[in-house]
Amino acid sequence: MGDEVPGVATRDGAAGPRSLFDKLWAAHVVREETADTPAVLYIDLHLVHEVTSPQGFDMLRERGLSVRRPDRTLATLDHSTPTTPPGPDGERAYYTPQAKAQVQTLERNCDEFGIRLEGWGSDYRGVVHVMGPELGATQPGMTVVCGDSHTSTHGAFGALAFGIGTTEVGYVLATQCLPQRKPKSMRVVVNGRLGPGVAAKDLALHIIRTIGVNGGTGYAIEYAGEAIRALDMEGRMTVCNMTIEAGARAGMVAPDQVTVEYLRGRELAPSGDAFDDAAANWLALATEDGASFDREIHVDAADVAPTLTWGTDPGMSVRLGEAVPEGDTPGRRRALDYMGVTGGQPLDGHAVDVVFVGSCTNGRLSDLRAAADILRGHRVSAGTRMLVVPGSESVKRAAEAEGLDRVFLEAGAEWREPGCSMCLAMNGDLVPAGKTAVSTSNRNFEGRQGTGARTMLASPATAAACAIAGRVVDPRAEAAREVA
Amino acid sequence: MDAFTRLTGPALVLPQKNIDTDQIIPARFLTATSFDGLADGAFADWRFDANGDEKPGCVLNEPRAQTSPILVAGRNFGCGSSREHAPRALLAYGFRVVISSEIADIFRNNSQNVGLLPIVLPEDQHARLLEMDGGDLTIDLENTVVIDADNNKYTFDIDGFARYCLLNGMDRLDFLLAESARIEAYEAQHER
Ligand code: SF4
């Protein structure tokens, strides 16, 4: 089919070198924007989960509409699902009857509208942003939306991917399109290489701290530079996932050979000759030399070290060993007070009650390996509870095949069924009020992991090291002890 | 969604920066399959203690909060989760307008889609409103201006299409459905 694959249309009109984002945008414009009306943007892949979709389907029923492209819609169950296995009677321990009703509603809606659902019993069910890429549903050149802000994750493949609200879920179900104004563009260039023991999560937290939790508002971000190129796809997904925590709806990385090899052989990716054709087009999406951005930021990878958040937004972070800021503003005072953290001194040594490894940020196989590498041969501290939740059924299978579940269980951690779990407090996995959790998830907002819960965001390696020590420690010190 | 043209009423000030959507409505209120009954979830953990009793000292529990249609909030309001329940909870609680110096992208979109008017003002004007002590504000969407009790006028920018939809109480589905022919042509041309 020549030089065009889904999402990689060539278009006239854009003179000069174009960025990845420019190409993605232009290839999906059904109707150009004007001063009076937004662009109509075509959506290639619509991911759906149980929490933000029921009222979208209701909109269809109220208006007598069908789903325009069920073949471009893919659903799963993740947010309100329990992470404990079903009982002997097959019953699942839903947190509330409403949670169960919500799951059943999505099952019914998918049935009624002919949508593929990776539900209970599926080999692929998982957190929506873990499942899509694993299946090969997410591909370079696509537009991807989901009623979930961490849809930015899929941008790691060189897709334009962003979160939407439930009304917009209804729009996409009905028309496969969204009214959109083109955001401004920002490039974040990460020069150099991350040091040993420094994770993609540490880089993500460093970038958010650098540009601020609102620094990306109004922008789509492209991540570039040597350190980004050196990341594997899972690391790139972690970075793109956290883009929304800097206020930008979309984060992306240009496709390269790493992207192509990740997708080869995935169930929903093209196969045979079609794959090679597609791959050539994917590689052509990269930003051209001289393309312009509304804003450009340079970050030195050598400045990144294992990082933890000390406060109540993802920009409030410090490197291990670095002093937490003093409470010199009302916001900082409130955050220190909420977290029970003392300003002016490092977090190192702070007691940790709960450790959570999982979520769409860090619930993939490489994340579980990183945690298991630290934990192997150790015990989780007596006073600390550690929960490890694989991001999907596929991740769970792969982890069990290499014995990671044994590592966690022998260390005294819990090994759960896939789901969003403790990332957000709506499925029964909660951090008790006043307790401190080191969590590999993405949000440390007040109450995010339970009313009164105190969340410190970190990488899987840092989380595992903290679990062993029962307090905040540098995973590199932990690794050093291993060798000694 | 209800049309919005103009209103005058008292404003409630929440000066905190970065008020995220988990504060506006905690996740445990998201398990319903309809948008009914969201008023109780609005700022639930700010308003109520673990026993469900009102927390003393929370401005959202004062009688004037329930009669204020306008919320003036600190910078970067509505960051975090994409939950549309957030603007809907604010509407259910009684707000029709949110004013800040910066409003998060997804929250702003969602607000416009459900009939909550998001207004972004420059830092200095926003700072004056944050320090406002009582008195009514008038919000005039037709003329895109906020007028305070001393008759100071603050003009704001809003996307023309969003303004049109809010003024007419029109959702965007009809706009998209009217593009069916173009959508079909796009699908044919791009092998979708
Ligand atoms: S893991 Fe957390 S952030 Fe990711 S989709 Fe689930 S609830 Fe949202």
Q: How far is B153 from chain A (nearest CA, A)?
A: 25
Cα(A41) to centroid(ligand 1), Å:
25
CATH number at residue B51: 3.20.19.10
Q: How far is A97 from chain B (nearest CA, A)?
A: 9
Q: Where does a domain end: A178, A200, A231? A: A178
Q: Identify the residue whose C-alpha is closest to ligand 1 atom 6.
A: A420
Mutation target to probe the B interface, by most B beta carbons within 10 A, among A71, A167, A333, A457 is A167
Q: Which atom of ligand 1 is nearest to the CA of A361?
A: 4
Mutation target to probe the A interface, by most A beta carbons within 10 A, among B47, B102, B110, B172 is B172
State the pLDDT at residue B135.
Answer: 83
Q: How far is B14 from chain A (nearest CA, A)?
A: 12
- Answer whether A389 contacts ligand 1 (Cβ < 6 A): no
Task: Mark residue A176 as left, alpha or beta (left: phi above 0; alpha: psi -120 to 50; beta: remaining).
Answer: left
pLDDT averaged over chain A? 95
Instruction: Work out how many domains chain B is built from and give that number.
Output: 1
**Which residues have CB under 8 Å from A278's CB, separation 6+?**
A5, A139, A269, A270
Q: Which atom of ligand 1 is nearest to the CA of B27?
A: 7
Buried b (16+ CB within 10 A) or exposed e, B69-89: bbbbbbbbbbbbbbbbbbbbb
User: Residue B62: pLDDT above 60?
Assistant: yes
CA A366 – CA A199 distance, rounded (Å): 11
The pTM score is 0.95
Judged by CB atoms closer than 8 Å, whether chains meet at B173 and A170 is answered as yes
Q: What are the structure tokens assigned to A381, written together?
A: 């501290």
3-state secondary structure A433-451: CCCEEEECCCCCCCCCCCC
A403 within a domain of the structure (yes/no): yes
Judged by CB atoms closer than 8 Å, whether chains meet at A249 and B106 is answered as yes
Spell out which residues of chain A touch residue B159, defining contact as CB-CB under 8 Å. Answer: 38, 181
Q: Which residue of B has its CA nearest to A39?
A: B176
State the pLDDT at residue A283.
Answer: 98
Query: In the block, which residue shows the tokens 């970065």?
Result: B18
Judged by CB atoms closer than 8 Å, whether chains meet at B82 and A217 is answered as no
State the pLDDT at residue B108.
Answer: 97
A199 within a domain of the structure (yes/no): no
- What is the pLDDT confidence band of residue A8, given thresholds at 50, 70 and 90? very low
**Residue A188, SS3?**
strand
Judged by CB atoms closer than 8 Å, whether chains meet at B31 and A80 is answered as yes
**Residue A150, SS3?**
helix
Q: Which atom of ligand 1 is nearest to the CA of A442?
A: 3
Tally C-beta pairs within 8 A across A and B: 183
- What is the pLDDT confidence band of residue A483, given thresholds at 50, 70 and 90? very low
A276 within a domain of the structure (yes/no): no
Q: What are the structure tokens assigned to A82, written together?
A: 């329990």
Handedness of CA A309, A144, B111, A110 (dihedral sign): negative
B65 within a domain of the structure (yes/no): yes
Q: Where does a domain end: A161, A178, A195? A: A178
State the pLDDT at residue A479.
Answer: 59
Judged by CB atoms closer than 8 Å, whether chains meet at A214 and B104 is answered as yes
Q: DSSP letters of B129-179?
A: HHT--S-EEEEETTTTEEE-TT--EEE----HHHHHHHHHT--SHHHHHTT
User: Residue A9: pLDDT above 50?
Assistant: no
Instruction: Work out how many domains chain A is built from and give that number.
Output: 2
CA A9 – CA B186 distance, rounded (Å): 11
Q: Identify the residue whose C-alpha is closest to ligand 1 atom 4.
A: A360
Judged by CB atoms closer than 8 Å, whether chains meet at A105 and B33 is answered as yes
Q: Which domain holds residue A402?
A: 308-483
State the pLDDT at residue A10.
Answer: 40
User: Residue A210: pLDDT above 60?
Assistant: yes
Lowest-confidence segment of A68-82, A342-356, B52-66 by average pLDDT = B52-66
Give mean pLDDT, residues B94-99: 97
Q: Are strands A219-224 and A250-252 parallel, antiparallel or unpaired?
A: parallel
Give mean pLDDT, residues A190-213: 97
A460 within a domain of the structure (yes/no): yes
**Residue A198, SS3?**
coil
Cα(A422) to centroid(ligand 1), Å:
9
Helices (H), A376-456: 393-401, 404-411
User: Residue A110: pLDDT above 90?
Assistant: yes
Pick from B15, B27, B79: which is nearest to A214 by CB? B79
Give the gyration radius of chain A's Cα atoms. Answer: 22
- What is the pLDDT confidence band of residue B66, given thresholds at 50, 70 and 90? confident
Cα(A482) to centroid(ligand 1), Å:
33
A24 within a domain of the structure (yes/no): no
- What is the pLDDT confidence band of residue A477, given thresholds at 50, 70 and 90? confident
- What is the pLDDT confidence band of residue A480, given thresholds at 50, 70 and 90? low
pLDDT averaged over chain B? 95
A350 within a domain of the structure (yes/no): yes
- Answer whether A421 contacts ligand 1 (Cβ < 6 A): no
Contact criterion met (CB below 8 Å) for A128 and A78: yes
CA A261 – CA A254 distance, rounded (Å): 14
B1 within a domain of the structure (yes/no): no
Q: DSSP letters of B21-72?
A: HHHHS-GGGG--SSSTT-GGGTTHHHHB-TTSPBPTT-GGGSHHHHT--EEE
Q: pLDDT tens, B17-42?
A: 999 999 999 999 999 999 999 999 99
A239 within a domain of the structure (yes/no): no
Q: Which domain holds residue B141?
A: 6-189
Judged by CB atoms closer than 8 Å, whether chains meet at B173 and A42 is answered as no
Q: Which atom of ligand 1 is nearest to the CA of A441?
A: 2
Judged by CB atoms closer than 8 Å, whether chains meet at B80 and A149 is answered as yes
Query: In the block, which residue shows the tokens 């917009």?
Result: A168
Q: Where does a domain end: A116, A145, A178? A: A178
CATH number at residue A143: 3.30.499.10
Q: Are strands B145-147 and B136-140 parallel, antiparallel or unpaired?
A: antiparallel
- What is the pLDDT confidence band of residue A484, given thresholds at 50, 70 and 90? very low
Q: How far is A371 from chain B (nearest CA, A)?
A: 26
Give mean pLDDT, residues A456-475: 97
Spell out which residues of chain B touch residue A179, defining contact as CB-CB under 8 Å. Answer: 161, 172, 175-176
CA A129 – CA A236 distance, rounded (Å): 13
- What is the pLDDT confidence band of residue B133, given thresholds at 50, 70 and 90? confident
Q: How far is B191 from chain A (nearest CA, A)?
A: 7
- Answer whether A154 contacts ligand 1 (Cβ < 6 A): no
User: Residue A14: pLDDT above 70?
Assistant: no
